Amino acid sequence: MAGHGPQSLAVLGKHLLAPTAPAGNAAGRGFRHLLAGDPRFRPFHYDGRPVDLDDAAQLKALRATIGRLSAMLERPPTAAEAKFFEDPTDPTDELNNTKVPAGYTYLLQLVAHDLVQSAASLSMVGDGRLALHNNRTQSLALQTLYGDGPAGLPLIYRQASPPVAGDEAQTSAYLRLGSMQSGDQKCPFRDLARINIASSQEEPSAGLPDVVIADIRNDDHAILSQLTTVFHLFHNGIVALLEQASPADAVPDGGDPAFGRYALARCITTLVYREIIRRDLLPLILHPAVAEAYKDSDAPLIEPFDGRIPLEFSYGAFRLGHAMVRPRYLINGNEASKFSLQDILDQTSKRRPQAMPFTFDWAVAWSLFFDMGEVQPNLSRRIRPFYSTQFLHPGVFPAFDETDRIGLAYRDMLSAAFAGLWSVPALVERLRDMPRLGRFFQESWVADREKREAALSAWLNESMPPGDLLPSGDVEALVKDPPLPFFLLFEAWHDPASEGRRFGPVASGIVADVIIGALAQERLVADEGRTGLNEIVTRLVGGRIPPDRLNSIAGIRTMADMIKATARMHGLDEAGTTPAFL
């Protein structure tokens, strides 16, 4: 129906709110600096002055320094570190993060895609002004999954099969999925939908190069595409449960029953996703003192959220997930499914269209990525100033400027420099004056300039590989005003309460404030965050979903809970399920 646009969640009745832009956001979405307009703002300096995108000489010198730093961050592992490469589940390895299973690395990536969709990488554009636009119209509303809905993006949806009696409009309520390659066995719909839209009859493309999803970044690699599939399955499972109710019961305020089921399933899926962020993800990654400060907070502690994403979040703190990435993962219980990161990055419709759809070897067994109490999962890496050398992949992160640097670290550090993020010394000084967080920062080693610079200097000098990639001038510059993402990596590793197992103090403050602010400002239901998920879901669909299924959905607090509920909805928790889902 033509009226099913972004505002249409309001059709579900008085308990739901139509998505709205935060007050004071007349300028629309986009980016801003943390504490935008603060008179104490000072951007990152290079060579004693702010980065000038029109100064060719300064940019050349900056690129050279960042290139040398990124070579250090992506240096080959030592002999002691090489052991870490081999066993992704070994809890005795000191570089494995036993506190954070590997699946959360990719949940963070999905959250990043849900918050930010910009035109290009700042490092790629060179002149960052083109890319400083965020196409998201809502924060943490799973737009990365749903796009503009069945009317705005119909290709990613399908109708009920067989059709539901009494549904005249037959709105497409299900998110599309694709089958896996399965030989002689029944083809399970456990992959994203993939097709071939040939560019021309003369030169047709081979394989399945086109993925049918709202955000093509969610097919950036095999693990993320499988995680996206889990969310599709969860949504579709709720739609199917609602179909079992009578059309009149499925939509509280009347209207198109199929669209009502879609909107209600989308709302519940998004509420569950937000609950996981609040109760599972943030407590795992935040510095303990920052997590405690935000534990019972219904509002940000640094500044109000206005719909725009701070650059210090998107180009700084949320890049820490890149350091959590492992060089190798065990995808399922088969030894043949232990894949390198480069294999995982290549396993996409864009890079391996002829290998699509996925074979069973690529079907993720989720107990290997989230703690379900049955097997030892893959573990994330401890966060430190180190990127896996598997990111040195010219097919994924090719060179793009005169430095000829490939890899991800160079892009991260250069993007931060081009974005003009807060200077680390200035940002720390400003955080010390926060009414509710200031005392914590005043007592932290981070706020002591001498201790901070001494620790950075010692680490840079001790960590240099043979060949002295960083001249003394680089070390001095990086100590006095380090690129924000580099400092936040170091902070996580050096902080005694983080030890690389959580974000450090500054990164935690930035991340918590943005996410808590977005959740508080853009509620899907009036009492979201104040009333438990169990009560809200029961209020929305109680009596329409069988009690046992309702309880398994309403009781979700963690990703493991959600995956188990998804398995139950689709019969994927049964013994002998091939390929294994749990």
Instruction: Give DSSP secondary structure letters for 419-433.
Output: TTPBPHHHHHHHHTT
- Whole domain around residue 442: which residue ranges? 20-72+93-137+305-325+379-523
Average pLDDT, the chain: 87
Range of lowest pLDDT (195-199, 214-218, 263-267): 195-199
Separation of CA 265 from chain center = 22
Residues 6 or more apart whose Cβ sits within 8 Å of residue 567: 573, 581, 582
Give the residue from 394, 396, 24, 357 showing the smallest Cα distance to 192: 357
Mean pLDDT of 195-202: 77
In this structure, is residue 200 part of a structural domain?
no
Structurally, how many domains does the chain consist of?
1
In this structure, is residue 357 part of a structural domain?
no
Full-model pTM: 0.91
- Residue 582 tokens read as 């749990």
pLDDT in tens, 403-432: 999 999 999 999 999 999 999 999 999 999
In this structure, is residue 359 part of a structural domain?
no
- C-alpha 174/C-alpha 437 separation (Å) is 44
Confidence (pLDDT) at 5 = 35
Residues 6 or more apart whose Cβ sits within 8 Å of residue 255: 11
- C-alpha 201/C-alpha 33 separation (Å) is 48
Mean pLDDT of 300-307: 93
| Residue 1 predicted with pLDDT over 60 | no
Q: Is 446 in contact with 456 (CB distance < 8 Å)?
A: no
Give the residue from 200, 227, 198, 197 showing the smallest Cα distance to 215: 227
Mean pLDDT of 268-295: 95
Q: What's the first-to-final CA gap in the chain, in angstroms? A: 38
In this structure, is residue 314 part of a structural domain?
yes
pLDDT in tens, 505-558: 999 999 999 999 999 988 998 888 888 899 999 999 888 888 888 899 999 999
Residue recorded with tokens 């646009």: 5
pLDDT in tens, 123-148: 555 555 545 677 788 899 999 999 99
Phi, then psi, of 557 in degrees rounded to 5: -130, -20
- Identify the band that residue 85 occupies on the pLDDT scale cut at 50, 70 and 90: low
Residue recorded with tokens 């928790």: 573
CB atoms < 10 A from the CB of 565, how many? 22
- Identify the band that residue 23 occupies on the pLDDT scale cut at 50, 70 and 90: very low
Which DSSP string do the residues of 483-533 spell out, in sequence order? -HHHHHHHHHHH-TTTTTSS--HHHHHHHHHHHHHHHHHS-SBTTBTTB-H
More confident residue, 333 or 399: 399
- Amino acid 263 reads A
Q: Is 476 in contact with 45 (CB distance < 8 Å)?
A: no
- Identify the band that residue 248 occupies on the pLDDT scale cut at 50, 70 and 90: very low
In this structure, is residue 192 part of a structural domain?
no
DSSP-based three-state secondary structure for 181: strand
In this structure, is residue 417 part of a structural domain?
yes
Q: Is 103 in contact with 122 (CB distance < 8 Å)?
A: no
In this structure, is residue 578 part of a structural domain?
no
In this structure, is residue 344 part of a structural domain?
no
The 8-class DSSP code of residue 280 comes to: I
